[in-house]
A = this chain, B = another copy of it.
Amino acid sequence: MTTATKPRVLDHPTREEIRLEGVLHALSDAVRLRIVSDMAQADGAELSCSFFDLPVTKSTRTHHFRVLRESGVIEQVYRGTAKLNALRRDDLDTLFPGLLDSVLRATDAQTARLGA
């Protein structure tokens, strides 16, 4: 019997399974908006969870990334032992043209208005 040879794969919705309600819910949190905003600035790069400077505990951080993954906003893949994250921009832009960009602009506008 062999073990531990199968790569770990995390569950993601297919493009067709992504729902607007779930995406908006995933984005309705200040920490998750910050993660998505940082990812958008990284322009498609895969980033580790620890890349993000967030004022939350490790378990809360893990929760936020899971909400983003399960709603279809981000993709999480294992590369060796690292879990890397990227925005599913193509999927979101195809399903909901302009939505992600308007949310990112709104996040910037609110940050400018209220301070970080």
Contact = CB atoms under 8 A, between A and B. Distances in A.
Interface of A: 19-22, 24-25, 27-30, 33, 95-99, 101-103, 105-107, 109-110, 113
Contact of A98 (B25, B33, B95, B102): B102
A5 B13 CA distance: 55
Interface of A is mostly: helix
A24 B109 contact: no
Contact of A106 (B25, B28, B30, B99): B99
A106 B20 CA distance: 7
Contacts of A97: 102, 105-106, 109
Contacts of A30: 21
A21 B25 contact: no
A99 B102 contact: yes
Nearest to A27: B24
